[in-house]
């Protein structure tokens, strides 16, 4: 139990400091710490990711950075695709799921390192996608905007259901690429999206037979939420480029370990 609490706090702190989704951290923590398989760890990771992201989203709501209509649409669009991801995970061998998870970690790590080498967190924007009205600070809604957010929700939902992650590693870069929202708005909105997508994916997982350990689940989720609060408090004191490099190195190590276990 002590390891569960400590690993949960560490995951939460890293979420708060880096802005990363809890799933890509929670799943390896449970797999290595408790010796679980990825399908066993995924639903518990979804609970922790949902709670931790919700705690982080509250701050964005208070600062009026969250675009809640976009978050709700993306979350609703994710529901049917998260169900597909859950069912796909049930039919795939554990080794294949572990390999997929390792690839996801490698992609996120390489993206962080590429941002560092380019000295920018920007991705090329696509003109004519989803626009923020400069007068209101909100998205201008039309059919194209709705389609963009629906596609983002579909991708995030499938990955969430398949791997037990909240989809933040998908939502953040796609919102940056297909909208002109600021990074602060994207991160704050992404936290609410991740909380909602994780909740929907958890519901799909439970409906398809997933089991949540009665003792470990609440303690791990609560420790992640506590760690998130600590991480948000110390985030501004740390150099962003050092945090990104360290986090990328951690992801590379975990990805290599998963691949070596196959």
Tell me the DSSP string of 27-38.
HHHHHHHH---H
- Grade residue 196 by pLDDT with cuts at 50, 70 and 90: very high
pTM of the model: 0.83
Mean pLDDT throughout 205-209?
Answer: 90
Strand partners, 139: 132
Q: Tell me: pLDDT of 11 over 90.
A: no
Across 56-60, 117-121, 124-128, the highest mean pLDDT is recorded for 56-60
Q: Give the model's pLDDT for residue 240.
A: 66
Q: Which tokens belong to 206?
A: 């439970």
Q: Which tokens belong to 205?
A: 């997982």
Largest CA distance in the chain: 53
Element (H, E) at 66: none
Asked whether 148 and 26 are in contact (CB, 8 A), the reply is no
Q: Burial-class residue 22 by CB neighbours within 10 Å (0-12, 13-18, 19+).
A: buried
pLDDT tens by residue, 96-124: 988 988 898 898 888 878 766 655 445 45
């Amino acid at each position: 139990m002590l390891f569960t609490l400590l690993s949960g706090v560490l995951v939460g702190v890293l979420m708060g400091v880096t802005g990363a989704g809890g799933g890509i951290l929670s799943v390896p923590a449970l797999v290595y710490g408790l010796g679980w398989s990825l399908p066993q760890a995924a639903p518990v990771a979804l609970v922790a990711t949902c709670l931790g992201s919700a705690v982080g989203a509250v701050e964005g709501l208070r600062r009026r950075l969250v675009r809640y209509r976009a978050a709700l649409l993306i979350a609703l669009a994710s529901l049917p695709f998260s169900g597909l991801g859950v069912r796909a995970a049930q039919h795939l061998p554990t080794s294949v799921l572990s390999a997929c998870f390792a690839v996801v970690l490698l992609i996120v790590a390489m993206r962080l390192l590429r941002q560092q080498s380019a000295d920018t967190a920007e991705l090329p924007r696509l003109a004519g996608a989803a626009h923020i009205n400069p007068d209101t600070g909100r998205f201008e809604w039309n059919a194209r905007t709705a389609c963009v957010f629906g596609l983002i929700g579909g991708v995030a939902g499938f990955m969430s259901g398949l791997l037990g992650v909240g989809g933040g590693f998908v939502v953040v870069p796609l919102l940056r690429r297909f909208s002109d929202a600021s990074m602060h708005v994207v991160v704050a909105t992404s936290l609410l999206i991740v909380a909602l997508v994780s909740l929907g994916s958890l519901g799909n997982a439970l409906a398809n037979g997933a089991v949540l350990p009665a003792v470990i689940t609440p303690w791990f989720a609560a420790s992640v939420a506590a760690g998130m609060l600590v991480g948000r408090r110390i985030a501004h004191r740390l150099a962003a480029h050092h945090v990104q490099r360290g986090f990328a190195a951690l992801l590379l190590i975990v990805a290599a370990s998963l691949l070596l276990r196959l």
